[in-house]
Structures are given as C-alpha cells and as structure tokens.
Structure 1
C-alpha cells in the first residue's frame, strides 16, 4: 500500500515523467532508421543533437518563471505541447527536418521534465518522504516498455508514422492525468521565491555536475545502444532496440528498489555503490564481443545510473532553504540536463573518429568522475543544519 499511496499522491508528475519515458524509448528504438532517413553521418547526427540542448536550456531557464506566473496548470500545458511535437521524428527526411525536430523536442521535453521534478520535490517536502526514485522508476519502466514494443514494430515492418501516432495518443492520455494540480507550497515559500533571490550557483554546482555526468551516460546508452549493437555486433535490425529496452527496465527496477535502499544505506552511500555498478556496465558495453554481453552491459549500466539522478535531486533540494528549492533544482537541472543532449553528440564525434567502442569507453570515464562530485555534495550537505535539511 505504501507504493500505491506514493504513486497516487505524486500521480501528476508521474504522468509527466511517464510521457517522457514513452517518447524517449520510442525515439531510441527508431534512431537507426531516423538517422538513415535523414542521411547524416555519426558526427553530423551528434552535432544536430546539440540543438536539443539549446531548446532544453531555454525551457529550463523559463520554467521557474512560468511556474510562478501560470501556476500548477503549466505542467499539463507542457505535456500537451510535448504531445504535439512527439510525432516530428517520424516526419524527418533530411538534415533540416531533423534539426527542427530536435530543437522543439528538446524544449518541450525539458519543460515537462523540470516541472515534474519540481512538483515531486514539493510533494516530498509536504509528505516528509522520498519519492524521487519511485517517480523516476516509472519513467524508466515506461522507456523500457516503449523501446521493446517499438523494436518489435520495427522488426515486423510497422510504419514509423503509425507507431508515432500511437505514442502521441498515449501521451495525450497522460496529459489528462496531469490536470487538476493545486499549489503545494506554503505562504512563506511563495513569498520567498518571487523575491528574485535564487539558490547560489556555486552551492548547486556539485549536484549539477553529478546530474550532467549521469545524463551523459544515460542518453549515451539510450541513443547509441541500438546503433552500437546493430552495427558493431552486426545483428539484425530491430534487435538492437533491446539494448535500450534492457537499460530502461534495469533502471526502473533499480529505482523501485532505491525507494527503500535510500532509507537503509543513505543517499550518499547509495550513489557511490551505484557508480561502481555503472562503471562495470559501461565497460562491458564497450568491450562486448556478442549481443548477450552487450545487453548485460546495458542492464548493469541501467542498474548503476538508475538512482543517481533522483537521489542527487533530493540531496540538492536539501542543501538550500525551502524558498530556494525550486530555484536550486531548476539551476542544477539547467546545467546538468545539458548532459542529456551533449552525451549523444560527444558519442557521435568520438564514434566518427575512433568507433563506438571508444565512445562507450568515454561513458565509463564519465561514470568514475561522479565520485569526487559526490564527495563535494555530501560535504555541503553536512554543513546544513538538520532542521534546514528537513524544511
């Protein structure tokens, strides 16, 4: 009943994250075909993915302001915009079309994502319990299911346009769940936030760095996993999508477990253990000689990075006063979420020069770099009074 109640009280942001997972799983599964249809090389595709970062950064900068001006209805509105643009990858037939699609997807997806995470943080503060891992588990499970289903669709010859239409309908259904939210913050917080005093950039920097590195790894595996398996290991089209699918499934299951593990191990030790698992997975992906080991690597990487983002998110929110919570999360994500979009371009450039095995080796290095950032974040958290951490 505990998980059921947690899902119910956070059902609106859960719907937002599920919508993003469903789209991204589909996008990852169809990427080999999208890339071929657009007629771009690995390096060109990597550079075009930077446009998603431009759109995402713009949306995240605007998110706190939009939230103050429009109120809770901004979440379903962001979901509606996301649903409208979700079919754009199926319409891509060249570089220009791919560039435009990535720009609008980056902006709409990022807005829905950051608003969902801020909403979860507010609910956590009200309920006095951790909800980030559970909510992000739904995102990962939605991604896994979507990637697997779309991989089957590709294998049996379902047109991309038809599959994209189905994704749009599902997201529209989730937008209905997002509706009806009311303000959660108390009067003191609402008065503090519009004052223009945001969370200090240096305070959120260690947490933002962890988010950045984690997102580099996450989207690197999701975007290039299918291409790596199908090209490097020379397997049939459609089977490569089971790499991202297994990655998402492992992330979802790990996040469900993380909901309880945070109480047992504590956030900092949980992230440290997860980083070690992610390192094993990314190295296995880089060196995999056969598809079985590649899928194992994807699963291990998913288990490893699963709890990093949601757990770090909770830590970031606890390092600042309550009135700066939305600002801290928005600023950390504005810096950190660029990794979600920069990861694939970096992978593309390295793949063009040295191959996809070297690109996945880069992801292993990114995983290890999380450890010094975690130490800095834990040090900052220890400097906060216990009462302030619970605010």
Structure 2
C-alpha cells in the first residue's frame, strides 16, 4: 500500500498527529530562549521538564476512560485542550510556574496521543493494513515545519507566546476533521486468554527507548549546536528540524518496509542505525556534521516507536487493544520523565557530547528487547 493510500484511510487521526507535531517542534526550537528566560541551568531545566512528563504519564492512565466517555469527540477535545495549554509555557519566567504549565501540556498531549494511536490501530484492524508509520510520519513532518517556522521567528526576535498562539489557530481550523466514530469491541464469548502483561511490557520498553531518544534530541539538539558547536539561533533550530525531517522520511519509508518485512527485524536494524547517528552527533566538530548525525539518528529511531505501539495493539485480543496501547504508551512516554533528568545531569557533569553518547547506548538496548519479542511471539 502506498503512503498516499494509507493516509487516505487514516486522514482524520493523521490531522491529530500534525497538531501535536507542530507544537512540539515549536517548543524544541524555542528551548534556548525559554531556558534563558527562566535563568535555569542544564540540570534545573531538565528537572523542570519533568512537569510535562508527569502530565503525560497521568494522561496515559486516564485516556482509556476519557476515550469511552468522549467517544467520537475525544480527539477534538484533546486537541482543543492542547492548544489552550500551549499558550502558557512560553510566557513563564518563574521555574515552578513553567513546570506547572508543562504539566498541563503533558496531560493534554498524552490524552490526544493515546486516543489518536487507538484510532489508527482500529483502522489497521478494520482494513488489515499497516498505517501507524504513515501517521507518525505526519507528526515528524509537522514537527520539522514547526521548528523551521521558529527558526524564522527567532531570527526576527519574536517571542514564543504569539507563535504558540498562531499554531493554536491552526488547531482550531483542523478540529472538524478530528471527529471519528469509535469502534467498540467486546470480548469474544468464551474468551479465556490471560492478561497480556508480558507483551505489553516488552512493547512498552521498545517505545520507551525510542521516545527517550527522541525527547533527548528534541529538547537538547539546539543547545548542542549553539553552545557546544558555536552555531547561531537559526542553526540551532535546524537541529530539531533535521531530526523531524529525517524522521518523516524514515516513517514514510517504514510504511512500505512494514508491509514487506517483519516488524521486529525492522526494529533491530533501526536501533543500530540510530545509535550510529547519535555517536556522529556527539562527536561532531561542526554544526554540519551534527546535522548529519541527527539525520541518521532520525532515520533509524523514526520507526521504532510506531512499530512498538503497533505491536502492542496487534499482539493482544481486539477488546484489549486500546488498553494495551495506552499502557505501552505509559511506559514509552515515561521516557519524557526520564530523559530530561538524565540528559540534564549528564550534561551538567560531563557536557553534551557525553550525554549524546549515552543516547547511543540507550538505542542499542532496543536490540535485546526486540529479540525477546521475536523469540516469544
């Protein structure tokens, strides 16, 4: 199936992926400005980002219930709340208020994320086609667009708040697309299968590796280019933009690859490729070489998270699909809880080069996880 056909089948949840991507790309490129605005050290800024992680993890547990209550309007409500939440972090100068604002962002982002992934998984089951990579690719495209827009606005001296508000207006324009009828699946009569804790944990751990790596590069690549390598504001914004663009390419390609090869084998190759990219970025002597490293990392890591989520929905009974995706996402998005702290501490103690070498080691840990899934399933 072509990417175009995949997006035709899933264009409504794809619009939600675009919304989330725009906001997080905007935030990633504004990190140097927001960090300076707060007057925070690396370690403190990493700790403050725990606010978004706590919100995300809380949302993952609440999302299945919210999905049942909101039904066809769940994505609409999630997107509206997210647009409202992003109005505040860019205005904060007090660290505690910033952490609270990011907690609100994480809560809204997590709710929308679980619901939109569940809708894609339902469509995959209905059409018997892999759709997850194409939808996650739309996140990456939007993430890159958001970062590139901010490269222009930062050069023009525009502060974060009005740019976030502008992306909020884009969200409002897309809301009509986000209403989707929900497929309610009851347990089959006589179902006696045990609860699939093992596969959920394994898939969640794979997603955790991917999302920790993504979160680290998203939040710290601009600082690495500007501080370690002496780049300017526009050059710094190109770091997360390069990640987003290459992740989009990787996920669009992954859509075709997933139709021809076993998902676990794809994860194995992607983990090795992305680890090489992280090493190149860590040891880069110039911004241009760092872009190459972030690009290779993006190509590899792009498919790991979507495949982990897809496997969680595919390897459980249909009536457990949304719950399995939600719990795997809880584990995965805890990467947003762990990555800021780990990166901040490593950077404070050893510098960003060593911190990005840590990302390479993290990516390699996906190999034994994928082999365990392959052996058991």
Distance in structure 2 (CA, Å) of the matches to 1:236 and 1:110? 32
Query: In the alignment, which residue of structure 1 is the partner of 2:31?
Result: 31
Residue 72 of structure 1 deviates from its aligned partner by 2.1
Query: In the alignment, which residue of structure 1 is the partner of 2:234?
Result: 238
Alignment partner for residue 250 of structure 1, among 241, 246, 251? 246
TM value normalised by structure 1:
0.92
Query: In the alignment, which residue of structure 2 is the partner of 1:334?
Result: 330
Higher mean displacement: 162-171 or 302-311: 162-171
Query: In the alignment, which residue of structure 1 is the partner of 2:197?
Result: 201
Distance in structure 2 (CA, Å) of the matches to 1:102 and 1:350? 22
Distance in structure 1 (CA, Å) of the matches to 2:222 and 2:176? 32
Distance in structure 1 (CA, Å) of the matches to 2:271 and 2:367? 8
Query: In the alignment, which residue of structure 2 is the partner of 1:358?
Result: 354
Within a 5 Å distance, the mapping from 1:1-391 to structure 2 comes to 2-179=2-179, 181-185=180-184, 189-190=185-186, 199-381=195-377
- 2:48–2:96 CA contact under 8 A, matched in 1: no
Distance in structure 1 (CA, Å) of the matches to 2:134 and 2:269? 18
Residue 364 of structure 1 deviates from its aligned partner by 0.4
Distance in structure 2 (CA, Å) of the matches to 1:319 and 1:199? 12
Residue 343 of structure 1 deviates from its aligned partner by 1.1
- 1:219–1:341 CA contact under 8 A, matched in 2: no
Deviation string, structure 1 residues 257-306 (Cα, Å, up to 9, x no partner): 11111122221111111111101110011111111110001100000101
- Residue segments in structure 1 that go unaligned for 5+ positions in a row: 382-391
- Residue segments in structure 2 that go unaligned for 5+ positions in a row: none
- 1:49–1:342 CA contact under 8 A, matched in 2: no
Residue 51 of structure 1 deviates from its aligned partner by 1.7
- 1:199–1:328 CA contact under 8 A, matched in 2: no
- 1:199–1:327 CA contact under 8 A, matched in 2: no
Distance in structure 2 (CA, Å) of the matches to 1:249 and 1:335? 26
TM value normalised by structure 2:
0.95
Distance in structure 1 (CA, Å) of the matches to 2:4 and 2:367? 33
Distance in structure 1 (CA, Å) of the matches to 2:344 and 2:234? 20
Distance in structure 2 (CA, Å) of the matches to 1:245 and 1:370? 24
Residue 198 of structure 1 deviates from its aligned partner by 9.0
Deviation string, structure 1 residues 65-98 (Cα, Å, up to 9, x no partner): 1112221211111111001111212211121221
Higher mean displacement: 224-233 or 267-276: 267-276
Distance in structure 2 (CA, Å) of the matches to 1:19 and 1:376? 34
Deviation string, structure 1 residues 13-42 (Cα, Å, up to 9, x no partner): 111111110000000000000011011111
